[in-house]
Structure 1
Amino acid sequence: MKTKAIPLLLALALTAPVALIAQADAPAVPTASSLDRTTASRLVYGLLSDSRYAYRPRALDVEAANQVFDKYLKTLDGNRQFFLQADIDSFAPLRADVANAIRAGRTDMAEQMFTLYKQRAAERIAHARELLKGEPDFTLAERYDYDREEAAWAADRADLDEIWRKSVKNDWLRLRLAGKPAEDIRSTLDKRYATLLKSINELKGDDVFALFLNAYTDSIDPHTEYMTPRSAENFNQAMSLSLEGIGAQLQRQDDVVVIREIIPGGPAALDGTLQPGDRIVGVGQGRGGAVEDVIGWRIDDVVAKIRGKPDTQVKLEYIPAADGINGKHRTVVLDRAKVRLSEQGAKSETLLIPGADGEAERRIGVIKLPAFYQDFEGRRRNAADYASATRDVARLLTQFKSEGIDGVVLDLRNNGGGSLDEAIELTGLFIDQGPVVQVRESGGRVVVNSDRKSGVAWDGPLAVLINRGSASASEIFAGAMQDYGRGLVIGETTFGKGTVQNIIDLDRWQREEAVQYGQLKLTIAQFFRISGSSTQHKGVVPDIAFPASVDASEFGESTYKNALPWTRIAEVPHEQYGDFQPLLAQLGQRHQQRVSQDLEFGWWKEDVEHYRSEAERKSISLNEAERQAERERLEAQRKQRQEMRRELGLQLDPLAEESDDGLTGNERDIVADAAREKAAEKRPDPLLRESAAILSDAIGMLQNDRQLSARVLPRAAGGSGRWSH
């Protein structure tokens, strides 16, 4: 995905929950690192240059080294708003050292560039804060070019001054349009810029090492990634849908780590003492352990202190939200436990869809699957309750069957993938044994991965909803459903990621138990559909297409210059449950007729077209009258739409009254922001409802036309793939 508007480090610095960096002039925090950078770098180099491991190994020659250098430079200043052209020229001699530095595990050149980056950041932010003493002129016909990825490097400080003048002016204008007075704007922005600089200054040597090494891994292919021991722990936690700790989502704000949300069922929830908004100011180990002051610490350092093995104790010193930042410190001791993040797993709901031509309404069950998650360690231990996307979906399908649901929509929008095993096993819930995906290894051998379990969890009507954010395992599943003719695929063309990654624990090559080297997520194979086609670049093309919400040139595998090309291999024999081609024209006509009268769908299309039109300009007006007029237009539009919803008895938008407040995520009230995030999940979803309506149409057409049903579903009488009743 191409970077927009702000460079990577700037984006990291403004990210609130569980971010890489921290705020404030922190007191001395333990900085000793167990990460052996030299060995880690050598191990990564050896794996990426060895065809026994890497699917597409690459020699670290001059061309590759230049790409690594350019990628690292882009990581530091992707929007070209810190470095001068003279700085870039001064880096030229360092290019020749890239390959040797990686092979030898040296980070001196990376640290040298980062040191100058910090210096330039300090200069730029000091300039930005100085600009706050005045007040911009918002009557001028100026525009702020926020996307400078392809722009020329600034020739001198005067050029950078102009870039930052417009950036500050845009920040000021957003707050001004939100109704903030000048002094409040000065205070907010001064604090924002100071926080940014402090965040950059707190990046540690391990962070710089990881950024540099990932510039190398990214030169191999866009999905190979190095993870430090800490980032590997976070990755494994996300995949397992669980954590070992107190069961709270934390966010840093104003030098202090604040509780954003209490996770149901966790130790904090069961104890009941801590509440959202409470500030954690100290952490101790065990009931009698000394409490360390953690004010000003990086959030990941605080999290590392709070996490721990189940059945151990952690002592937290906190200030209740109601008492304010200067309130009395209180203490609570919690028993750590393994907490299941069930809110991040598969969820279900039921939609009632009116029948066409006087038919009774149909009940369509929806399963939203955000990722193909799996607790790898729990599965290895054969734990009875290990987290699994397939297990959760199977449970929901069983529930749907007991409720007599007429059809199921599996919503894979923005599902970026996950476990290959889960994609195969999930497919097995809908087919009765057979091949699912072909995997071509680095040596050229093709392995067919199949569902070997007899029986199905759901043999009724099925639709799969996808968009550009559906990738990898989502594409394996959607492609299999399409190739088998098992279900309708609806939505947008998917991301186009057709490669397989494996996690290699670099500590496997050492005898000590200490975690020292981290992990490497390495591309080891390319997957192909059972039809023989790769999803690489091309993705999965839906049977019924919705308008593209994002341009393929801006998001997707095709935006990566070093991505593998599309290709195909031989088809693998498989059963054909159905062929929906005879249905598609009529389904498309009904779809178009329906959405032409669907207010929500029409509003969604308007919003998408407006967003894409604005994004193509890559700049924004700095004239207050123009921006105010646009703001008023959007507010009037939202109010008008909400009023029409009320009049027509439609689902209301809980965020209809929201407007741009000019703040960043960690400047808002944390509890209110978390509530807003929850409310966003209840917004009208015309794409989901239309997908259910398309599936309902298909059910009705097949039930009412036996000849059509015989053409579309030749196995209808056999049970699996049974759409008509």
Structure 2
Amino acid sequence: MKLRPTLALLLAFTLTGAYAQSAADLGAGNGARKVSSLPLKPTPDQATAAKLSAGFLTRFHYAAQPLDDAMSAKIYKAYFDALDGEKVFFTQADMARFAPLKGQFDDAIWNQDLSGPFSVFNLYVQRAVDRMSYARSLLKDGFDFSGNESYNYDRKKADWPKDRAELDTLWRQRTMNDWLRLKLAGKTDDDIRKTLDKRYSSYIDRVRQLDGEDAFQAFMNAYAESTDPHTDYLGPRAAENFDISMKLSLEGIGAVLQPRDEYTQVREVVPAGPAAKSGKVHVGDRIVAIGQGDTGPMVDVIGWRLDDVVNRIRGKKDTTVRLEILPADAGLDGKHEIVTLVRQKVSIEEQAAKKKILDIKEGNVTRKIGVIELPTFYSDFGARRDGDKNFKSATRDVAKLLGELKAAGVEGVVMDLRNNGGGSLTEANELTGLFIDKGPVVQVRDARGAVDVQGDDEPGMSWSGPMAVLVNRGSASASEIFAAAIQDYGRGLIVGQPTFGKGTVQNLVDLDRFGNGNKEKPQFGELKMTIAEFFRINGGSTQLKGVTPDIAFPKSGDEKDFGESTYDNALPWTQIPPADYKPVADLKAYLGQLQSKHDTRVAKAPGWKLMLDELAQYRKMRDKTSISLNLAQRQAERKDQDALQADFRARHKAIDGDTGNDDDRASLDDGLNANERSLKSELKAEKEAKKAADPQLDETARILFDAVGLIKGDSKLAAEVLPYGGRYSDSAVASGSPEKPATPVSH
């Protein structure tokens, strides 16, 4: 699963620091860019990579389509959507000029002539700089907010602006809204002018740093994603970051970085990494220069792109990097410090499986419910292939946590897969094996129609007591494989919202293996290509439909804009014959009772009612597409919002107690981008968010509390709803489970 922001949004993320956490940490290489020289031109390597990609996509994709004029038209639409999906840079005249390209992108790839797509990207860069320069020019005189104008900010379905005059009107309204947001937050005109001028200037700097790899990546992704929503082209930089996200480790210094003004700032120091062990690198420090080895020259990196700075810091294990740092507590003229670090393998534990125990009390009864949060199905494929016994694996980590939860005496386990976008198919298969004795888990059908049934051949379970899987719209792919198998076996309750609906399997193709890639450094990138479709063991697919919970929680409303069903080119839902499997329990025996108890409880739960009210407000605000530019009207709206948020805060405080946040304005729009706030306040807000009540998780734990109570009170029921008649239960409900080893063996 993925979100697909336009390139314009990606630039905005780069400025605000959201991109910093996806590119984050920490390290590698040499060479960097400051300002790219226009026009950007394609390289021979890129032309080769494009043709290689086309060869694979037209022959080996699960739903292979010819690269012809029809596909060219799809690429054309996807490319302009990626560059200017909000229609704020190009005009109708531009689109008329580029119209002939609609039928030429196929020829551009086959003939290895990428001048057409690069000409589009070059104009995009020019227009982005021009528009931001125009916005800056408006700041001198300020604005009159006494009129009745409105700003229509949702332009996905709008027409392209007719001409420059219409563009100017659009950007004047955008700039007015930026100004008005800051004004409503209490900023003076002088402060507003300085803030916005700095913001727009920084945006221009970021745009001017876009290079040929960015242009090629945008174009090739337009082609890849025109075949299906989950096929991607990964340039060398993107391929490296994808690899890191899967294995949750890299070779670097152990510091999460983000852009802030002209500096690269340390956002987080990873425990046990080289930076942390040195004691000389701290949150808030700014990196001003980088040197390689003990004697290499220090290269000034002020104003550089984040990924260029990261590229210089990462490097091979046991090599040395020197950082020139402006300490967090020093002013801009403060004394710089030189820190010498030896790169090591660093684990990114933030995305690893984690556990906690919830003590659920009802009347005089208290039960421990274990929770395992799994953000992604990660696996270090390389270490696993090389026979490393300690390779990073979601299944291995969860098995270890289950052992710890059992030792702590939990009576039920919640697998929290909310917003888990998937990952390794093998991990999904093996993780399911921790909760069943043995049997099929998933069916995989390739492009030839051949079906491979994959499953768990290892007897025993790491946990055979009551369990629930908590999912939402962001649970996709491998998460859906796991949840569907647990549901089909009757092994546990699926609780939450309908899942994403991604039922396809992707494989990585290293293009350097097939091109004339004799260079030491990767040059052609990788293709993440859909090669198969997976099916539930009951024969149905999760494609489009996702997994429907046994006990449903309220939908957020995002399903209109988020999920497989929102893609125009998503594969259709199909089904195949079921695998040879037998459910291990029948949860229908007590599902009605659990649903009734849930309904009764949430009907009078203040926290649940508050969640529903906040969801309703979220949907209302999300459905708006325009906003007034009249100061009096906006002040009245802000007053209403202030009263509503004050009510929400008071209700939260009554339910959760004092969370330590006394800022009554914290939940209101301050008009700032993330990188314009202090890092200290940003980190504080994130810390408070982590401490906030989680009514959906709490209610899932209470549903398991009810399940345990029903099982304990009725041995016949226990035999129906626990696996294998309760013979293998390892919870407090019963005993005698043959356990799987804590380190699962690859099947």
TM-score exceeds 0.5: yes
Does the 8 Å contact 2:7/2:83 carry over to 1? no
Q: Within the alignment, does 1:46 sit opposite 2:55 as a pair?
A: yes
Aligned pair partner of 2:700 in 691, 704, 709: 691
Q: CA deviation at 1:675?
A: 3.3
Does the 8 Å contact 1:27/1:296 carry over to 2? no
CA 1:306–1:702 in 2, change beyond 3 Å: closer, same or farther? same
Q: Within the alignment, does 1:194 sit opposite 2:195 as a pair?
A: no
**1:424-443 superposed matches below 5 A:** 424-443=429-448
| Structure-1 separation of matches of 2:603 and 2:444 | 42
Q: Which moved more, 1:207-216 or 1:703-712?
A: 703-712
CA 1:380–1:654 in 2, change beyond 3 Å: closer, same or farther? farther
Aligned pair partner of 2:153 in 146, 157, 163: 146
CA 1:656–1:235 in 2, change beyond 3 Å: closer, same or farther? farther
Aligned pair partner of 2:74 in 67, 78, 85: 67
Does the 8 Å contact 2:410/2:731 carry over to 1? no
Q: CA deviation at 1:366?
A: 0.7
CA 1:114–1:511 in 2, change beyond 3 Å: closer, same or farther? closer
| Structure-2 separation of matches of 1:8 and 1:693 | 40
Where does structure 1 lack aligned partners over 5 or more consecutive residues?
none
Q: CA deviation at 1:305?
A: 0.7
Does the 8 Å contact 1:315/1:332 carry over to 2? yes
Aligned pair partner of 2:486 in 481, 488, 493: 481
Does the 8 Å contact 1:9/1:76 carry over to 2? no
**1:543-692 superposed matches below 5 A:** 543-647=550-654, 650=657, 652=659, 654=661, 657=664, 658=666, 659-692=668-701
CA 1:37–1:430 in 2, change beyond 3 Å: closer, same or farther? same
Aligned pair partner of 2:331 in 299, 324, 329: 324
The residue that corresponds to 2:112 in the other structure is 105
Q: Which moved more, 1:666-675 or 1:74-83?
A: 666-675
CA 1:229–1:482 in 2, change beyond 3 Å: closer, same or farther? same
Q: In structure 2, the residue corresponding to 1:321 is in which secondary structure?
A: coil
| Structure-2 separation of matches of 1:626 and 1:571 | 60
The residue that corresponds to 2:462 in the other structure is 457
Does the 8 Å contact 2:41/2:118 carry over to 1? no
Q: In structure 1, the residue corresponding to 2:584 is in which secondary structure?
A: coil
Does the 8 Å contact 2:434/2:462 carry over to 1? yes
| Structure-2 separation of matches of 1:222 and 1:556 | 10
**1:202-601 superposed matches below 5 A:** 202-355=209-362, 358=363, 360-509=365-514, 510=516, 512=518, 513-601=520-608
Q: In structure 2, the residue corresponding to 1:617 is in which secondary structure?
A: coil
CA 1:535–1:697 in 2, change beyond 3 Å: closer, same or farther? same
1:388-415 deviation digits (Å, cap 9, x = unpaired): 1111111111011101101011100000
The residue that corresponds to 2:28 in the other structure is none
| Structure-2 separation of matches of 1:530 and 1:173 | 55
Q: CA deviation at 1:3?
A: 7.0
Aligned residue pair count: 719
Q: In structure 1, the residue corresponding to 2:440 is in which secondary structure?
A: strand
Q: Which moved more, 1:693-702 or 1:540-549?
A: 693-702
Where does structure 2 lack aligned partners over 5 or more consecutive residues?
25-31, 735-747
CA 1:277–1:649 in 2, change beyond 3 Å: closer, same or farther? closer
| Structure-2 separation of matches of 1:15 and 1:188 | 13
Q: CA deviation at 1:107?
A: 2.0
Q: In structure 2, the residue corresponding to 1:552 is in which secondary structure?
A: helix
| Structure-1 separation of matches of 2:11 and 2:55 | 32
Q: Which amino acid aligns with 2:50?
A: S
Q: CA deviation at 1:382?
A: 2.2
Q: Which moved more, 1:480-489 or 1:186-195?
A: 186-195
CA 1:475–1:302 in 2, change beyond 3 Å: closer, same or farther? same
The residue that corresponds to 1:16 in the other structure is 17
CA 1:99–1:703 in 2, change beyond 3 Å: closer, same or farther? same
Q: CA deviation at 1:553?
A: 2.2
Q: CA deviation at 1:234?
A: 0.6
Q: Which amino acid aligns with 2:322?
A: K
Q: CA deviation at 1:712?
A: 3.5
| Structure-2 separation of matches of 1:652 and 1:324 | 32
1:284-341 deviation digits (Å, cap 9, x = unpaired): 1111111111112111111111101111100111111111222222211001000111
Does the 8 Å contact 1:241/1:340 carry over to 2? yes
| Structure-2 separation of matches of 1:372 and 1:714 | 25
Does the 8 Å contact 1:5/1:146 carry over to 2? no
Q: Which amino acid aligns with 2:367?
A: R
Q: In structure 1, the residue corresponding to 2:437 is in which secondary structure?
A: coil
Does the 8 Å contact 2:472/2:496 carry over to 1? yes
Q: CA deviation at 1:505?
A: 0.8
1:467-487 deviation digits (Å, cap 9, x = unpaired): 000000000000000000000
CA 1:463–1:600 in 2, change beyond 3 Å: closer, same or farther? same
Q: CA deviation at 1:550?
A: 2.7
Q: Which amino acid aligns with 1:99?
A: D
Q: CA deviation at 1:452?
A: 1.4
| Structure-2 separation of matches of 1:649 and 1:341 | 31
CA 1:347–1:706 in 2, change beyond 3 Å: closer, same or farther? same
Q: In structure 1, the residue corresponding to 2:691 is in which secondary structure?
A: coil
Q: CA deviation at 1:266?
A: 0.3
Q: In structure 2, the residue corresponding to 1:447 is in which secondary structure?
A: strand
Q: Which amino acid aligns with 2:434?
A: L
Q: Within the alignment, does 1:36 sit opposite 2:45 as a pair?
A: yes
Q: CA deviation at 1:118?
A: 2.1
Q: Which moved more, 1:710-719 or 1:527-536?
A: 710-719
| Structure-2 separation of matches of 1:324 and 1:229 | 37
| Structure-2 separation of matches of 1:21 and 1:433 | 39
The residue that corresponds to 1:719 in the other structure is 728
Q: Which moved more, 1:605-614 or 1:209-218?
A: 605-614
Does the 8 Å contact 1:21/1:202 carry over to 2? no
Q: CA deviation at 1:678?
A: 2.9
Q: Which amino acid aligns with 2:456?
A: D
Q: Within the alignment, does 1:169 sit opposite 2:176 as a pair?
A: yes
| Structure-2 separation of matches of 1:54 and 1:5 | 25
Q: Which amino acid aligns with 1:40?
A: A
Q: CA deviation at 1:68?
A: 0.3
Q: Which moved more, 1:387-396 or 1:631-640?
A: 631-640
Q: CA deviation at 1:528?
A: 0.3
Q: In structure 2, the residue corresponding to 1:367 is in which secondary structure?
A: strand
The residue that corresponds to 2:738 in the other structure is none
Q: CA deviation at 1:352?
A: 1.4
Does the 8 Å contact 1:460/1:721 carry over to 2? yes
CA 1:199–1:176 in 2, change beyond 3 Å: closer, same or farther? same
Does the 8 Å contact 1:432/1:453 carry over to 2? yes
Residue identity over aligned pairs, in percent, reads 49
Q: In structure 1, the residue corresponding to 2:560 is in which secondary structure?
A: coil
The residue that corresponds to 2:710 in the other structure is 701
CA 1:294–1:66 in 2, change beyond 3 Å: closer, same or farther? same
Q: Which amino acid aligns with 1:220?
A: T
Does the 8 Å contact 2:325/2:337 carry over to 1? yes
Does the 8 Å contact 1:48/1:58 carry over to 2? yes
CA 1:456–1:271 in 2, change beyond 3 Å: closer, same or farther? same
| Structure-1 separation of matches of 2:331 and 2:167 | 40
